[in-house]
């Protein structure tokens, strides 16, 4: 029988804005939390995976590499991977799952460390991205001052406004729901200090239509660690394991402006191809919300509603609330809990499935969760199950 892959430990460092602590140390903090959670020690780790690997051209975006973790933790690694060229953030966990399923590794550390706020405070060490001369993909957007992914995502969102009648009041529910949940998440205290109201949302300054200030996540300093273990190594673990029941990814046009629809519409249906679970079985959804419109593409892509219907699905916010039919971004998402860049969604999904979310725990007996990452031309999804 084929080996299965499980998430056996999750951990997060302090989450903050302009944290003085070095990002390598934040990563070690998160590793220690995750190891303790799993009941493992460093000498049992034999693989390290990350997205997107150390980003030397823009260090604050990803200041720590897998080599460095192997070195400073004294890990005898059998397999490692840190790369930007993969479907999206969470596919690093998918790669780790493949490694343990293949028998290459038994317990692996997956991490995503971000230091974009701290980096801005220390430009000498963390050189900011420069926009004066551009090459590669950014030459097709930056010359038109379409500088941020906000501008690219806004154009997908604006099409929902035009074609399907999405209103700001409907879109607002993603940020409002995220802020409500973040208020109950102790790791989100540095990011969300008060609940967002519809009035406040509606009067916020516009960034790029239809996205306002509250529709965009903010630079955050944090490391998130997910430990993935082989199914035949679970006797070494003390925590409740959560099975990686399926995964999917998609990249079609590696370009934000050539892809007609975001890749969630391809990766979504594919998630259901390798599992007996269906969309009806999902107890909670943790959908990438670096920009508020992106969860709508996942709702549609995964089949929770038809294409062009997601704004109606979230209208009023009751359906996606913690006690609704599809609790969404129960830890606050990136809008509420900071730009953890993808891994926060896996962290929260596991926390909910283990019923360890404290005051923000969803009711009932949640067994199946979907965590997604990516936007525009990039997409990766994980189906997680406590079965």
Partner 1 sequence: MSSPPRPRPRLDSVNHAFWTGGAEGDLMIVKCGDCGEFTHPPQILCRHCQSENVAPTAVAGTGAVETFTINYQPWVKDLEVPYVIARVRLDGVPGVYLTTNIVGCPVEDVKFDDKVRVKFEEQDGIFYPLFEKVS
Q: Is 32 in the site for partner 1 (CB under 8 A)?
A: no
Strand partners, 224: 12, 112
Least Å from the CB of residue 188 to partner 1: 24
Q: Least CB distance from residue 237 to partner 1, whole Å?
A: 46
What would the two tokens of residue 117 be? 């706020």
Tokens 């460390």: give the residue.
113
For the chain, first and last CA: distance in Å? 17
User: Would you count residue 143 as binding partner 1 (CB under 8 A)?
Assistant: yes
Only segment of 7-15, 157-165, 188-196, 331-339 that touches partner 1 (CB under 8 A): 157-165
* Span near partner 1 by CB under 8 A; candidates 50-58, 134-142, 309-317, 345-353: 134-142
Q: How far is the CB of 370 from partner 1 (least distance, A)?
A: 27
Contact 361, 318 (CB under 8 A): no
Among 74, 85, 145, 199, binds partner 1 (CB under 8 A): 145
Residue 205 touching partner 1 (CB under 8 A): yes
Which one of 129-137, 264-272, 337-345, 359-367 is the stretch in contact with partner 1 (CB under 8 A)?
Answer: 129-137
Residues 239-258 that bind partner 1 (CB under 8 A): 255-258
Q: Whose CA is closest to 249, among 53, 54, 93?
A: 93
Task: Give the one residue of 134, 149, 198, 234 binding partner 1; rule: CB under 8 A.
Answer: 134
d(CA 372, CA 10): 16
Q: With binding defined as CB under 8 A, does residue 261 bind partner 1? A: no
Shortest reach from residue 158's CB to partner 1, in Å: 5
132 binds partner 1 (CB under 8 A): yes
Among 125, 162, 195, 356, binds partner 1 (CB under 8 A): 162
Q: Report whether 36 contacts 238 (CB < 8 A).
A: no
* Residue 209 sits in the site that holds partner 1 (CB under 8 A): yes
User: DSSP characters for 193-212?
Assistant: -SPPPHHHHHTSPEEETTEE
Q: Is 317 exposed, middle or buried (0-12, 13-18, 19+ CB in 10 A)?
A: middle
* Residue 272, number of CB atoms within 10 A of its CB: 16
What would the DSSP string read from start to end of 72-95? HHT---SEEEE-SSSSSTTHHHHH
Residue 58 binding partner 1, by CB under 8 A: no
Count of residues engaged in binding partner 1, rule: CB under 8 A: 38
Contact status, residue 384 vs residue 242, Cβ threshold 8 Å: yes
Does position 208 interact with partner 1 (CB under 8 A)? The reply is yes
340-359: which residues touch partner 1 (CB under 8 A)? Answer: none
142 binds partner 1 (CB under 8 A): yes
Task: Compute the least distance from the CB of residue 205 to partner 1, in Å.
Answer: 7
Q: Which span (1-9, 117-125, 206-214, 336-344) binds partner 1, by CB under 8 A?
A: 206-214
Enumerate residues 6+ apart whose C-beta is below 8 A from 228: 5, 6, 7, 8, 49, 93, 96, 97, 99, 100, 107, 108, 110, 244
Does residue 63 contact residue 221 with C-beta atoms inside 8 Å?
no
Residues that bind partner 1 (CB under 8 A): 131-135, 137-148, 150-152, 154-159, 162, 205-211, 255-258
């Amino acid at each position: 029988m084929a080996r299965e892959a499980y998430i056996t430990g999750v951990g997060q460092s302090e989450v903050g804005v302009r944290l003085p602590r070095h990002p390598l140390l934040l990563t070690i903090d998160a590793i220690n939390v995750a190891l303790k959670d799993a009941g493992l020690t460093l000498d049992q780790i034999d693989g390290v995976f990350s997205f997107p690997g150390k980003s030397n051209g823009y260090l604050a975006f990803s200041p720590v590499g897998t080599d460095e973790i192997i070195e400073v933790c004294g890990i005898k690694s059998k397999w490692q991977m840190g790369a930007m060229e993969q479907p999206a953030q969470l596919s690093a966990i998918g790669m780790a799952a493949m490694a343990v399923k293949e028998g290459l590794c038994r317990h692996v550390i997956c991490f995503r460390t971000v230091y974009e706020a701290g980096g801005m405070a220390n430009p000498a060490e963390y050189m900011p991205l420069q926009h004066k001369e551009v090459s590669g993909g950014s030459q097709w957007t930056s010359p038109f001052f379409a500088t941020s992914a906000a501008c690219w995502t806004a154009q997908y969102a604006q099409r929902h406004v035009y074609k399907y009648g999405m209103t700001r009041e409907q879109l607002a529910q993603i940020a409002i729901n995220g802020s409500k949940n973040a208020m109950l998440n102790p790791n989100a205290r540095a990011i969300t200090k008060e609940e967002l109201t519809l009035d406040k949302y509606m009067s916020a300054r516009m960034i790029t239509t239809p996205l306002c200030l509250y529709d965009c996540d903010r630079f955050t300093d944090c490391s998130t660690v997910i430990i993935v273990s082989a199914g035949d190594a679970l006797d070494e673990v003390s925590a409740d394991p959560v099975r990686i029941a399926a995964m999917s990814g998609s990249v079609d046009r590696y370009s934000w402006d050539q892809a007609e629809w975001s890749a969630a519409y391809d990766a979504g249906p594919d998630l259901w191809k390798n599992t007996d679970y269906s969309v009806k079985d999902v107890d909670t959804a943790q959908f990438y919300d670096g920009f508020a419109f992106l969860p709508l593409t996942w709702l549609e892509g995964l089949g929770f509603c038809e294409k062009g219907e997601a704004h109606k699905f979230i209208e009023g916010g009751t359906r996606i609330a913690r006690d609704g039919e599809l609790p969404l971004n129960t830890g606050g998402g990136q809008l509420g809990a900071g730009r953890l860049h993808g891994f926060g969604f896996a962290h929260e999904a596991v926390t909910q499935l283990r019923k360890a979310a404290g005051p923000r725990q969803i009711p009932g007996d949640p067994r199946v969760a979907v965590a997604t990452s990516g936007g525009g031309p990039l997409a990766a999804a994980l189906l997680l199950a406590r079965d």
